[in-house]
Structure formats: C-alpha cells, structure tokens
Structure 1
Amino acid sequence: MDRNSAIGLTLIAVLLMAYFYWFAPQPQPASQRPAVTQTPQATSPDTTAQQVTAASDSALAAAYGDLSTFAQGKEDISTIETEDVRISFSNKGGIIKTLELKHYQTYKDFKNERDYDAPSQKNLKLISPDRSRFNLLSKYQGKDIDLYALYYKSEQSKKGDSTVVTFSATLSNGAYLRHTYTIPAKGYEIRYSISQKGLDQDLTSENLTFQWDDQIKPLEKDLQDTRIYTTISYNLPSEGFDELAARSTDTETEAFTGPVKWTAIKQKFFLSSIIAKNNFAGGEITTTHPGADTSVVKYAKIKLLIPKNALADGTEDFKFYVGPNDYQEIGKVTDEFTKNVYLGWPPVYWINKFVIFPVFHLLTKVISNYGLIIIVLVILLKLVLAPLSYRSYLSMAKMKVLKPELDEIKEKHGEDMTKVQQEQLKLYQSVGVNPISGCVPVLLQMPILFAMFYLFPASIELRQQPFLWAEDLSTYDSLIQLPFTIPFGVGDHISLFTLLMTISTLIYTWQNNQLSSVQGPMKSMSYIMPVIFFFVLNSFSAGLTFYYFISNLVTFAQQAIIRRFVDDNKIKVLLEENRKKNAAGNGKKSKFMTKLQDAMKASEEAKRKAEETRKRKK
C-alpha cells in the first residue's frame, strides 16, 4: 500500500467515526415514545400460541398431507435386551436407535479394562445416533416425505421366545403404515417388515428408497488395517457375491439397475447388513475414505429400492444381521453370506473350509487358551505332514552326500553353465537322485502355509484374546514401541513374535543350506526372504506370526528326530549301489530325469546350430 492510499483510508475512517458519533439516532425517552394501543387479543399468550400452532399445523399439512398429525410428537425410546444384543428403538421413525453387542468391546474399552482392572461395561455399538442415519423416502400425495421422520405409536408383544415391536401410524379412515421388528432371544438377526393398508393411492412413487448412512467408527487397535478390511459387500441374484474395493482411498460407488438380495457394511470382524426376502428392486452403494481424519474408518452409504407394490400385497419382509463377522455364525444367515469372511483362493479356500476351520473350532471347544490352541494346531498339522517332511529331508541329505562331486563339476567346467548342468544331470541320473524331489513335499505344504495366512487375520475368535505379552492375538503385539516410524509397512513398533519368527526362519534356512548344493545369488536370496517377510508381517496378526514361529520350532525338533534315522554313510552306500546298477544297465531310469536330459541335449544342439549359422554368415 502506498503513502497516498494509507492517508486516504485513515481520513475515511475518521469521517465515519465522526458521523456515527454526531449523527446517530438517539433513543427516545419513555415519555416521548409514541403510545401503542394494544388489544387483548394481541397480548393474550394463548391466542399467540394458537396462531403459531395454526401456522405450524398449516405448514405440516402442506408438507405431510394426511400424515401431518404424525409429523410431530415426543420421542419415546424402548429397549429390548436378549442374550447377545441390547437394542433401543425410537418411535420417531420406528427405527433402531442403538444396537449394542453384549459380548464385544472396542479396543479402547478393552485396553482400559486390562490396564486398570476396572470393567468399563461399555458394549460395542454398531448402530448409534453418532454414526448411523436411516431414511425411508417416498412421495405421499405428491410430496416428498421421509417415513422415518414420523412419530409412530409403539407396541410390544411376545411370540414364543421372540419379542415383537410394532410401530403404527393409523389414520381416521383406518388406513395405516406399520413397521414390525421381531427380535429372537438369541443371535444377531432381526426380522423387519413394512406393511400398509389404504395408502396405495397416496404413496405415489413406484419405489420406496431405503437409505442407511454409516460413519464407521474405529473398533480395533490398528486403524490402517481396519480400513483395508472395511467396505460394502453385496449379493446380486444374477451375479453372486461381490464388494467395493476395500483398499481404495478414493470414493467407490456401485449402482444396481436390477435385483439386489442383500448388502452389508463390512468391517474386519463385524457386519451391519440388511437382507430382502424377495430382493430389492435396485440401488446404489458408496464408500468414502476420510483421509487424515482418524476418528472415522470410512463413510458408507447404502441406498436400496423397495417396490411399493410389495407393500400393497401385504408385507415386505427383510432381515437385519448386525453382529460379528464369524464364519460359524453367518453361515445360517443367507446365501453366500459366508463369503464376507475371506478364506483365500482355491485350493487354499478348500483347505481352510474343510480342514483347518473344523479342526480349529473343535479345539476351541476343548481348550480355552488360544495360544495353546495354536500350538496344538501346529503339532497336529506337522504330524499329518511328517511323511512329506521326511522325504524332503532325505532328498536334501542325498544332495549333501553328492555335494563334493557337484563342486568338482563346477570347478572343472568353470563358467560354462550349460556344461555344468549337463554333467550334474548325468551325475543325478547315475546315482538315481531326482534333484527336485525335495521341492515337491515343500510345494505340497505351501497351500497350508497360505491357509494360515488367511485364517488368523479373519478369525474373530482371536479378537482380544491375550497370550504371553500379546494383549490381542488378532492384531500385532507391540511390546517394543519405537519413537519413530519405519517405512515399508513396519510402523512405529516391533512385533516380538514377528522378530522371533524371522530369527527362527533364518536359523532354519542356514541349516537347510548346509544340506543343499545351492550356491551364489540363490543362496543369498534364501537369507533375504525372511527379512522381507519381517517387514511384511510386522503389523499382521500376532496369532499368525506366533503360528509361524512355533511351526519353525516344531520343524527343528522334527528334523532332529529324522536325523537319527538318516545316516549319511548309508545314503552314500546306497548311491554307490545305484551307480553300479546304472553303469551295468540294470538301474531304473527316472522318466523325469530322462526328459530333462533330452531337453538339455536339444537345447545344446540348437545352440550349436545357431553358432554354426553365425560363423557361416561371417
């Protein structure tokens, strides 16, 4: 700002102040104020209230038509408590106001209870006013209306061991709109129906729009891990199960132009879903990442179309499932609902479904400590896989006996790797050794290794189950807390179980390398891989890394036992006998080795011809 502008602005400010000081209107003295003649009607509070009420009633009648008498009232909350849930209903809208799971807590409440030995008595809430909003939109007598904004008359009754809660809005002509909830004494399913009578002509929209907005709150220790498991899943009768991209940080949307069977707001260990008996007519689902806001996991929005004709036919039946994402529990809910628990791709899925899960759940009925369950599970699987482990170790022992001859071949032929490979194959053929026989048992065990990778992070049974220093086996143990954050997914902690797993894997690798003939980069890579897995698994379930650690320990013991039955001198004698038999033409030739040798010869011949062609061109 230059000097002239500053002087000008100062003068303007002074003039304005002078004006308001000298020329502002002064309040009149009481004796000089004009008298106001007030009639009794103008001053009567009752009359004023009547005028306000009349104006309000007129506005409500214009907005809600015949339903205007239900557009205002007093909210009344009724609570139903079962073995597993506590549900609060509101007569305003006839909706679920709050739903608590009695046997689950958030990580924060669980941690406080353990730290201070004072139960918080705070149940985990999947529906609450601070996170959930419901709307049921339609047109009534040509006007847009939210049927969940009305005040209904509530009634309760018993039907067997279930509680029935009914919310009704009944007009003077006998027409009504009714919401009915049936809550069983046990479980997490709630039956819900919408019915109407005499409102066919007044409800003018073809479909009612059910909307469920959920501001998903953090429930677990690891917010980032929770976010990559949080999404909306759904089932289309024509296409089956699918879900929005859970790992995306963008807004994900899917619109449905055809029937929808169910949708679920899916978190790592919990589901909030609505299922239609006769399908929804269509809809749209959306998830939005909150960015840097750590008070919210994600924003989820469900919009589903309910055909009006279904209400006219009598009732439109639905079912809420709001509870744990437990494979054992959700299998009875509806078609393909168990796919909300991801157990991996085939054949890993089959191994988890038909082998690991049944054994795991059988152990939970016998043993209460989940750390001990994991140890027993490892031992059982190692016993089943013992024959494969024996064959693998025996193959490595044979390679160890042949190692001096293999080293001699490498030294003799130097950098000619083709010649080295040919001579090595001749050696294997002569002594009757298949070099990949040790890999086959390992490959056969890989699906089980991956099955565990999917099993433990998805098992709600491990949630908030402590073992040793780990306070919760479903997430990482953070006994070693760092004052800084390590990149590549490690985080601001060191998981002690992951560290022990990595050290034991390095020791196991070193032992195997003493038996193996592998040299060079491949040998170095075998040591690098466990370190890479440390970075990958440091923030994974403590139950998973504890399983891998115990698996390594049992493998050490298993190899020590096998070593007592595998004598290197006997193996050497056996290989020499095979060499003599093959030299005499009495040995049994391996089809695999023969094919491999033929392939090597063909490769060498092709290489020789290419070299000759190159020389002729010169």
Structure 2
Amino acid sequence: MDKNQATGLVLIALLVILYFQFFAPDPVEPENKETTTEATTTPEEDVKQTETTITAVDDSVLNEEIKQKYGIFAAGGQGEESFTTIETDYLKIDFSNKGGVPKNVILTKFKNSSGGPLVLFNDSSNNFHLKATASGRQVDLHELYYTANKSQKGDSILLSYALNLGEGKSIEHIYTIPKTGYQVGYQLNLNGLKNYITKDELIYEWNDRMIAQEKDIEMSRRNSTINFYTTDEDFDNLAEGSNSLEEASVEGVKWVALKQRFFIAAIVADKSFGKGKFSTNINPADTNTVKDAKVRLTIPLEDVTSGTGNYKYFFGPNDYYLLDDVADEFSRNLALGWPPMKWVNKFVIIPLFDFLSSFIGNYGIIIIIMVLIIKLALSPLSYKSYVSMAKMKVLKPELDEIKEKHGEDMSKAQQEQMKLYQKVGVNPVSGCIPMLLQMPILLAMFYFFPQSIELRQEGFLWANDLSTYDSILNLPFTIPFYGDHVSLFVLLMTMSTIMMTYSQQQVSTVQGPMKAFSYMMPLIFMFVLNSYPAALSFYYFVSNIVTFGQQTLIRKFIDEDKIKQILEENKKKNANKKKSKFQQKLEDAMKAQDKKKK
C-alpha cells in the first residue's frame, strides 16, 4: 500500500465516524407495550430474524440448484450421511445411506500381511456410480440420500435403502446378507419411473484401487486382474501380468470379478448386464495399491422397473470350493493352468491336498506326503525311463563308432543309428516319454501353489508364510531378474537339482553343449523362482531328494552287463526282421533330406 492509498483510507474512516456522530437519525421511542408487542424486538431477536431470513433465501437457492441438478430425483439431493454396519461370521460391511451402497468391506476370517483386519475395499479406495438419464440430465443415483430400514428374514438380514419421490415413484436398494458365506444379494427397483427415464439403460460403474493385502506386491500384481463371463458362455479376462493399461469391451455380461491373488470382489446378474467395458492399470510408485480396476456396465431399464433387477455381490476368498456355488464358470477365477495342467490340478492335486489337509494341520508335512504319494504313483515311469537311459549307455560305444565312421555325414550316421536301434530293440525316445508324462504334474504345481489360499500365512521351518518367498537375507541392492533377497528353499532346490542332474549324467549319453545346458537349467530356475512362494520351491526340493533316492535304488537293481547281453540276443533275433512302417518312413524321410542337401 502506498502513501496515497493510506491517506485515502484514513480520510474515509474519519468521514464515517463524523457521519454517525453528527448526522445519524435518533432512535425511535418504543410505543405502549400492549399495542406494540408484535413489532417490538430486542437486538438479539433482530439478529435472529436476520439470520432466519438469510437462511430461508439460501435454502431457496439451494433447493433450486438441487432441482436443476437432480430433476425428478431432487427429493434425495440433500441429507446427512449415516452408516449401518452389518456383521456376520464372515463379513463386516458398512453401508451408507448416501447412495445406498457398501462403503467398507472386511473379511473377518482373514488378516492382511501386517496382521490387521483384511479390508477388501473402503470408502477411500472404492466407489460406485449408478447413472440414469431423465429429462435430459444424467443423475448419479448413488449420490442421493436414502432412508435405511433393517429387518430380519430367517437367518438373513434385509437392509433396504428407499427414496420416496412422491406419486408412487420411488427407488429401492435392497441387500440380503446371510448369516454365513460371502454372497450378498442385491435388488434394484425403480418404481413408477419407467416413463420418466429417457434412456432404456442405466450405467453402473465400479472403480476400485485394489488394496494390497500381501507382502509381495509384484506377485500380487501378476495374479490380479478383471475376469468376466458373457452371455455367449465365454470366459475372458484382462492380461494379469501386464504393467500397462489393459482394456476390453464386450456385449452381454453375466458376471464381473475384480480378482486379486487370494480375494475377489464381484457382481453377478440374475439375468444379464448389457454392454461391458473394463480396464486395469498400475502405478508402480503406489505400493499400497495392487491395480486400479474400472468396471462399466449397462443395466437394462426394463429389469429394474419390472422388479427383475436382481444381482448379488461376492466378497470373499479365491477358494476353489466356494467359487463353484457363486455362478456358472465362476470357479475359473482360480487359474489352474491350461490342459493338461488344469486337469491334473482339478482331479489330482486339489483333491489330494484337501484330503491330507482334513487330518494334517502342518502344510509342510502335507507337501512332503504329497511328493511321496505322487512319486510312488509315477515310479513305474521313472523306472522305465532309467532303464532306457541305461540301454543307451550300453549302446554308446557302438553309436560313437558309427559317428566316427561316417564323419560329417550326419544323415548317413542317423540312418545307421536307426538300424542299430532296430536290431537291438531299443526305442531312443522311450526314455523321454516317461519324463514328458511327468511334466504336467511338475507344471501343475507351478499354478497350484502360488494361488493356494490354504497356504496363506501358514509357516514351516524358517518360512513364516508358505504363500510367499522365504527370505533369509535381504540384499542392500537389487540383482536383475533375481531380486533383493535370498530364498533358502530356492537355494536348496537348486543344489538338489544339480545333484540329481549329476546322477542322471552317469547313465546318460548326452554330450557336448546339451550336457553343459543341463547344468545351466537349475541356475536359471534359481533366478526365476526366487520370488515365488516358498511352498513351490520346497515341493521341488523334496521332489528332487526323493527322485535322487529313487535313482540310487533303481541303479542297484539294474545290471548293465545283463542289459548288454539282452541287446546282443536281440541283435541275433532281429537280424532279418523287416522294418516297421514307421521306421521305413523315418528312413525314407532322412534319405530325402540328404538328397535335398546334395
């Protein structure tokens, strides 16, 4: 403020003082009390009257703004938010009269990685919108205020949120919360509003920043997505492992699931939704949020005006046996892999795991017993594979002689080797077939253990939680493709794999780069599995130990001299034996390839 401005303000202040001192009108003398009671007020009453007048004007303006914004729904445009908490043996849900929606959902039988309540979502991470178009304006029905009414129906609690719009028009959100389980029924009714809503569909939006529940945020992100099932009986999902924006649009949706690694929040239609649009994205800097998931569905107006707008929410664990009862194909939220891994998990691993869990409480012991049972069942294949390798070892001198004889003519060498195999009655791939038959089981475990909620927060030996990595050392830096920690079970698995590989090499004919590569594989898996669940690496470690023991035992029952004698006898028997059709075709193919090269 400069000098002139200051001088001006002083002069204005002096003029105001002089005016009220010399020119202000005299106060009016009060008349007789008996005749002037209604007109007479104290200064305090004057203030109150003024405030009342101002409030009335503000309310009028506010009411006009609400009418402009909400139109026919203006009766619910203002109010005071209040909450109704429903708590069962499985769920604790806070419902709000603002919007008539669940604001906070807690799964009471589970804890988060810090040991606190497992909050599936809350008001700050999650929001719902339900938009209707009436008289040219779009109104979010989940912004309106409703009247709550709670009642009992059998073992279930009925919680309704109603908004009376007059003249037979109303909106109702009705929730049915059973005493047990994770399913919450939801009915949406728009009574007497069919002729007022100008579009034949409502828009339902569900935005959820999935709250991190597990220690390993990266593993959680790799196993979190939006799954959906369409009226064409097509199950689909957004890419789980993506770190960028994923989107999809479909027609006709039966259900949508916001699926995390171990928990699911989903909505299921009794009939169906219309169009669906879904997206997921990741903010790497936000370690409290797994993924940002957005769901946009259209709801046919006819359903909610005719009383058939029936839906249900599922707020619960990603448990195989629970999911089956929710909706068609809902169990596919638990990814069991592609066939045949899926079949192995569904019909072998899960039933066996659940059977053992029914009377054994230690999951480390259960894993050991699973290994023993599976290895015992596969022992005939293991024996056959080992015998095949022993036969190839006996034949190795003759195979080397053929290679040396034909030098660089690989085609000719292969033909001669095939003739030798025919004479001695050995199938060179017979040792691989048993191994291939065992691969689906090994790969099935790769899907089963990372998603087995039974292992969550269950410890064994030094591993506090078998569903995540067992870190025995946190590194001060991050090693590319390895991580910032050391998993002991992975180290044990790696060493046991190298030991087993060495044992197999004693009867194997593999030479050169392939032999060196067989020792590289354990090191590659050490990097890959370092951040995977401890249960998985522990299973592979125990499996390696048992396999090593099997090989040692089988070796004691295999006499290489006796095998050599049998092969020599086969040579004599098959000296004049005609080639099989397969062998002839294989030989012809080799010859044709040889001619093509020349």
TM above 0.5, one fold? yes
Give the letter for the 1:211 counterpart: E
Work out which of the residue numbers 536, 544, 548 in structure 2 matches 1:556: 548
| Cα distance change on mapping 1:23 and 1:248 into 2, 3 Å | farther
SS in structure 2 of the partner of residue 287 of structure 1: strand
CA distance in 2, matches of 1:444, 1:66: 67
Work out which of the residue numbers 335, 347, 350 in structure 2 matches 1:354: 347
1:414 Cα offset (Å): 4.2
Matched, 1:50 2:35: no
Please tell me whether the aligned partners of residues 227 and 247 of structure 1 are also in contact (alpha carbons under 8 angstroms).
yes
Please tell me whether the aligned partners of residues 196 and 315 of structure 1 are also in contact (alpha carbons under 8 angstroms).
no
Matched with 1:244 is 238
Work out which of the residue numbers 5, 13, 32 in structure 2 matches 1:28: 13
Work out which of the residue numbers 361, 364, 370 in structure 2 matches 1:371: 364
CA distance in 2, matches of 1:503, 1:261: 49
| Cα distance change on mapping 1:547 and 1:592 into 2, 3 Å | farther
Give the letter for the 2:273 counterpart: F
Matched with 2:144 is 150
Please tell me whether the aligned partners of residues 121 and 211 of structure 2 are also in contact (alpha carbons under 8 angstroms).
no
Matched with 1:298 is 291
Please tell me whether the aligned partners of residues 132 and 138 of structure 2 are also in contact (alpha carbons under 8 angstroms).
yes
Give the letter for the 1:318 counterpart: Y
TM-score normalised according to structure 2 size:
0.90
1:15-414 mapped onto 2 (5 Å cutoff)? 25-26=9-10, 28=13, 32=17, 35=20, 40=46, 44-107=50-113, 109-110=114-115, 122-238=116-232, 240-256=234-250, 258-414=251-407
Query: Mean alpha-carbon deviation: is it higher for 44-53 or for 264-273?
Result: 44-53
| Cα distance change on mapping 1:58 and 1:559 into 2, 3 Å | same
Matched with 1:567 is 559
Please tell me whether the aligned partners of residues 134 and 148 of structure 1 are also in contact (alpha carbons under 8 angstroms).
yes
Give the letter for the 1:25 counterpart: L
Query: Mean alpha-carbon deviation: is it higher for 491-500 or for 400-409?
Result: 400-409
Matched, 1:509 2:501: yes
1:601 Cα offset (Å): 4.4
Query: Mean alpha-carbon deviation: is it higher for 17-26 or for 207-216?
Result: 17-26
Please tell me whether the aligned partners of residues 119 and 211 of structure 2 are also in contact (alpha carbons under 8 angstroms).
no
Matched with 1:11 is none
1:197 Cα offset (Å): 2.2
Please tell me whether the aligned partners of residues 423 and 570 of structure 2 are also in contact (alpha carbons under 8 angstroms).
yes
Please tell me whether the aligned partners of residues 476 and 484 of structure 2 are also in contact (alpha carbons under 8 angstroms).
yes
CA offsets 1:20-39 (integer angstroms, 9 cap, x no match): 77666347259627559999
Give the gaps of 5 or more residues in structure 1. 1-16, 111-121, 612-618
Please tell me whether the aligned partners of residues 42 and 48 of structure 1 are also in contact (alpha carbons under 8 angstroms).
no
CA distance in 2, matches of 1:162, 1:33: 77
CA offsets 1:264-313 (integer angstroms, 9 cap, x no match): 11111111111111111213222222243323222111111112222221
| Cα distance change on mapping 1:98 and 1:23 into 2, 3 Å | same
CA distance in 1, matches of 2:291, 2:412: 60
| Cα distance change on mapping 1:206 and 1:320 into 2, 3 Å | same
CA offsets 1:159-204 (integer angstroms, 9 cap, x no match): 2211111111124434321110001111111100011322223333
Work out which of the residue numbers 402, 407, 430 in structure 1 matches 2:423: 430
1:403 Cα offset (Å): 2.7
Q: Percent identity?
A: 49
Query: Mean alpha-carbon deviation: is it higher for 178-187 or for 47-56?
Result: 47-56
Give the letter for the 1:367 counterpart: I
CA offsets 1:200-237 (integer angstroms, 9 cap, x no match): 23333321211111112211121122222222111111
TM-score normalised according to structure 1 size:
0.87
CA offsets 1:62-88 (integer angstroms, 9 cap, x no match): 333454332222222111111211111
Please tell me whether the aligned partners of residues 206 and 294 of structure 2 are also in contact (alpha carbons under 8 angstroms).
yes
Please tell me whether the aligned partners of residues 273 and 321 of structure 1 are also in contact (alpha carbons under 8 angstroms).
yes
SS in structure 2 of the partner of residue 89 of structure 1: strand
Matched with 1:474 is 467
1:55 Cα offset (Å): 2.4
Give the gaps of 5 or more residues in structure 2. 26-42
| Cα distance change on mapping 1:204 and 1:596 into 2, 3 Å | closer
CA distance in 1, matches of 2:554, 2:465: 36
Query: Mean alpha-carbon deviation: is it higher for 29-38 or for 409-418?
Result: 29-38
Matched with 1:421 is 414
Give the letter for the 1:91 counterpart: N
Please tell me whether the aligned partners of residues 92 and 149 of structure 1 are also in contact (alpha carbons under 8 angstroms).
yes
CA distance in 2, matches of 1:70, 1:104: 37
Give the letter for the 1:143 counterpart: R
Please tell me whether the aligned partners of residues 384 and 434 of structure 2 are also in contact (alpha carbons under 8 angstroms).
yes
Please tell me whether the aligned partners of residues 432 and 590 of structure 1 are also in contact (alpha carbons under 8 angstroms).
no
Matched with 1:8 is none
1:46 Cα offset (Å): 2.6
Matched with 1:580 is 572
CA offsets 1:549-598 (integer angstroms, 9 cap, x no match): 11111101111222232122221222222223334x4x696665555445
SS in structure 2 of the partner of residue 385 of structure 1: helix
1:381 Cα offset (Å): 0.9
Give the letter for the 1:56 counterpart: L
1:318 Cα offset (Å): 0.4
